[in-house]
Amino acid sequence: GPPFPVFTRQEVARHHSEGDRVWVTYGSDVFDVTDFLELHPGGKSKILLAAGGALEPFWALYAMHKQEHVLELLQGYKVGELSPEEPPLPTPGDPYGGDPPRHPGLKVNTLKPFNAEPPSELLAENFLTPNPLFFKRNHLPVPTVDPATYRLYVQGIRGRALSLSLQDLKSKFPKHKVTATVQCAGNRRAEMNALRNTNRLGWNIGAISTACWSGVRLRDVLVHAGYKQGDDGHVSFEGLDKDQNGTVYGASIPFEKAMDPKGDVLLAYEMNGEELPRDHGFPLRVVVPGIVGARNVKWLARISVGPEESQSHWQQKDYKGFSPAVTWDNVDFSKAPAIQEMPVQSAITEPSPNALVPPGELTVKGYAWSGGGRGVIRVDVSLDGGKSWHEAKLTGEAQSPGRAWAWKLWQLKACVPPGTKELNIVCKAVDTSYNEQPDSVGPIWNILGVLNNAWHRVHVSVGE
Ligand code: HEM
Ligand code: MTE
């Protein structure tokens, strides 16, 4: 095609609002991203921060943009090139320089922020996921916290406030242990992306893990701050992780869940008997059993109670479910409730997709879980794409009815007759309310790519 027109940084800078079109630069290219504003997974306001200027300083913080699919998407909006006389940009310091080291076995989705899952075939090896392999879902850099000066701020009743040190938390409140599975709403998004790309993190089946958490009950801290059961509203949490504008991660849960003595909501300082690792919220995180991962706020700084849900981006404009009919042109975020309890879920961890399995005895393994404390009562497995079914054997810790916060692992030993060429392995779980999983992704696909709990399917070939 014809060469692109050449612009100076000053010319680009004039395009800094929707009225003047929104231009940005990346390297020496100029883009008009006005038509992308509403489609941006990170929100329109974030792009407006870079309007008229360079993306580099922002993408140093949100380096998940430096992926091929994002750069390709950006290329579609190219309108010009910077004039060659422009001085190069100073390289900003890396906001992720302070992130902790990680286990090399993790399957990395994005490095900055760090988003990674355990290899699928390891997921169901242990009922409790070892801390280094537990999936990690960060929206921002991991904050560095000095445990000696750390304080948890709790807004109390009638304008009072509590400021609690780690020592206060450990000495003033009884220590509780809860074994709970944490699952991200985006778990298994890759299967949704394969159908129709959502342009968001392509999690495989590993954005789910289980730990034994210990800490204090949120309920006990709220009672100490003057609240009582029967009050209502929402409990909002804020993290210590923030972007360059000081925006912190935040989320909320219903007050009723927070105060329910059988809700088991924890402020955890230990994970599987070890000090809470930095990636998982050191020194303190919220664990909300039965509820979507997004509300389990890490690096907890502040708790407040009020009539409104958290106003954060992640409560209002993300982690909500929509009809497949909803598009970025007609989405109304105020119409859908924030995800709290999750639907019944299961996946096959072994064999791996496209593996070659020998005829004879075959072991199929996986996990199954449901939200809201609903236990998994059954897992059905098919080897022929859903025509005939077998019941898998379930294992896991016994948990009280209505408080089945942890997953079940399952196994099926089957015999593959000689002459079989391929298997279409499928699994689906059933929870205590007899909820079952939908058979395919199409009818539950949504623009945010959340809540994928379709039957999990693994195709393998049979041979020596
Ligand atoms: C996420 C594109 C500018 C902040 C994303 C994603 C895409 C994208 C495709 C999803 C990535 C994934 O989940 O794999 C773009 C394009 C931009 C742009 C084409 C060019 C104008 C910005 C700027 C900022 C920003 C300037 C910040 C100031 C974010 C954030 C997310 C995100 C915070 C993650 C949302 C979440 O937490 O899931 N962007 N982006 N983006 N972007 Fe951008
Ligand atoms: N808390 C803070 N402060 N910042 C975050 O980015 N991510 C949330 C939640 N809590 C997040 C957070 C999301 S989306 C999930 S799924 C879980 O943490 C993941 O917890 P994990 O990294 O311990 O697995």
Among candidate residues 16, 40, 176, 224, the one labeled active-site is: 40
Q: State how beta strands 408-416 and 390-391 pair.
A: unpaired
Cβ(33) – ligand 1 distance below 6 Å:
yes
Q: Enumerate domains of the chain plus CATH numbers.
A: 6-82 (3.10.120.10), 107-335 (3.90.420.10), 345-462 (2.60.40.650)
What's the pLDDT score for residue 64? 80
* ipTM of the complex model: 0.84
Q: Which of 180, 187, 151, 183 is nearest to 270 (CA)?
A: 180
Active-site residue identified among 227, 249, 319, 367: 319
Amino acid 90: pLDDT: 62
- Confirm or reject: Cβ of 447 under 6 Å from ligand 1: no
Whole-number Å distance between alpha carbons of 13 and 54: 9
Q: Are 249 and 263 in contact (CB under 8 A)?
A: no
* Distance from C-alpha of 87 to C-alpha of 269, rounded to nearest angstrom: 48
Q: Which atom of ligand 1 is nearest to the CA of 22?
A: 21
| Residue carrying the six token digits 């709790």 | 154
Look up 40 and say whether it is catalytic. yes
Å from CA of 293 to ligand 2 middle: 6
Q: Which residues of 216-250 are buried (b: 16+ CB within 10 A; e: fewer)?
A: bbbbbbbebbebeeeeebbbbbbbbbbbeeeebbb
317 ligand 1 Cβ < 6 A: no
Give me the tens of pLDDT residue by residue for the chain, a chain 464 residues long: 678 999 998 999 999 999 999 999 999 999 999 999 988 988 898 999 899 998 987 887 787 888 888 999 999 999 999 998 876 666 668 889 999 999 988 999 999 999 999 999 999 999 999 999 999 999 999 999 999 999 999 999 988 899 999 999 999 999 999 999 999 999 999 999 999 999 899 999 999 999 999 999 999 999 999 999 888 899 999 999 998 788 999 999 999 999 999 999 999 999 999 999 999 999 999 999 999 999 999 999 999 999 999 999 999 999 999 999 999 989 999 999 999 999 999 999 999 999 999 999 999 999 999 999 999 999 999 999 999 999 999 999 999 999 999 999 999 999 998 899 999 999 999 999 999 999 999 999 999 999 999 999 999 999 98
Provide the token pair at 446: 């949504």
Q: Which two tokens stand for residue 425?
A: 């392995």
Query: What pLDDT score does 217 carry?
Result: 98
CA angle 163, 312, 450 (to 5 degrees): 125
- In three-state form (DSSP H/G/I as H, E/B as E, the rest C), the secondary structure along the chain is CCCCCEECHHHHHCCECHHHCEEEEECCEEEECHHHHHHCCCCHHHHHHHCCCECHHHHHHCHHHCCHHHHHHHHCCEEEEECCCCCCCCCCCCCCCCCCCCCCCCEEEECCCCEEECCHHHHCCCCCCCHHHCCEECCCCCCCCCCCCCCEEEECHHHCEEEECHHHHHHHCCCEEEEEEEECCCCCHHHHHHHCCCCCCCCCCCCEEEEEEEEEEHHHHHHHCCCCECECCEEEEEEEEECCCCCEEEEEEEHHHHHCCCCCCEEEEEECCEECCHHHCCCCEEECCCECHHHCCCCEEEEEEECCCCCCHHHHCCCECCCCCCCCCCCCHHHCCECCECCCEEEEEECCCCCEECCEEEEEEEEEECCCCCCEEEEEEECECCCCCEECEEECCCCCCCCCCCCEEEEEEEEECCCCCEEEEEEEEEECCCCECCCCCHHHCCCCCCCCCCCEEEEEEECC
Q: From the CA of 180, which ligand is nearest?
A: 2
Q: What are phi and psi of 290, to 5 degrees?
A: 85, 0
Point out the ligand nearest to the CA of residue 241.
2
Q: Is 65 a catalytic residue?
A: yes
For a ligand 2 pocket test, name from 298, 310, 342 the mutation site with the most ligand atoms within 8 angstroms of its C-beta: 298
Nearest CA to ligand 1 atom 22: 47
Q: How far is CA 222 from the centre of its chain?
A: 26
Would the CB of 39 count as within 6 Å of ligand 1?
no
Distances (CA, A) of 51 to 42, 63, 352: 14, 18, 44
Cα(346)–Cα(391) distance, integer angstroms: 13
> If we measure between CA atoms, which residue out of 286, 279, 232 comes closest to residue 117?
279
- What span, in angstroms and rounded, lies between the C-alpha atoms of 408 and 397? 8
Residue nearest atom 8 in ligand 2 by C-alpha distance:
294
pLDDT at residue 449, as a whole number: 97
Nearest listed ligand to the Cα of residue 64: 1
* pLDDT at residue number 2: 79
